[in-house]
Amino acid sequence: MDLLNLLDKIGLVFDIWGYPIVFFASLFEITPLGWAVPGGTVLVIAGYLANDGNSINLISTIIYGTLGTWLAFIFAYQLGSKTGMWLVRKLKQEKTARFAKKLLQNNGATILTTSMLANLTRFWVSYIAGVDKYSFLRFNLYAFIASITWVALMVLIGFFAGFERQILRNIVSKLGYLAWGLLFLAIFVIVRSVKHEYKHFKEDEPYHENHK
């Protein structure tokens, strides 16, 4: 079974459950269990299927994905606000939480617009913002911007890649490969920059701990 046939079969599922799948995949992608739910992949596939105009609609897909992601941010914030560092200790994420706290302190809530693409920090930055009682209104603004930016990016990549199977298959077949290439390049750059900052954070940590 080639990729196009597989996507056609997935499209049959999206005909019935498309929007709930997009909503919950986007929501769970942001939680600590996000490793088990490839929300980004689901959004790309949803965008691809939206290209044919049969299974789901492009704008509605972005709206449902944004709502799911935005609610996950708000949930993380509220959880941090109500429980403090309890979840951090429960999941043994002290180092990750300290890194997220440093990002938030150094960059403010604007870090939310970039941490969305980094598995290491996207949930914990929101959680720590709640712990630190960061302005909820400002947090919501940045969280919404981050949500719609990330969701729209993933969905549009899939949408434009979808032209490969339509009338432009033979003329602009490289369009889809270019979109996928840009996606992987963007992820690589973001992950590398986060790992670089995390490396320096770990190197600096003993100094700070010894000078408390």
Give the pLDDT score at 72. 92
The dihedral sign for the CA sequence 10, 116, 67, 53: negative
Per-residue pLDDT band at 125 (split at 50, 70, 90): confident
CB–CB of 152/121 below 8 Å? no
What range does the domain containing 199 cover? 3-210
For 29-64, the pLDDT digits (tens) are 888 777 677 888 899 889 988 887 767 899 999 999
For 84-116, the pLDDT digits (tens) are 888 888 888 888 788 777 777 776 656 666 665
* Overall pTM > 0.75: no
Domain count, the chain: 1
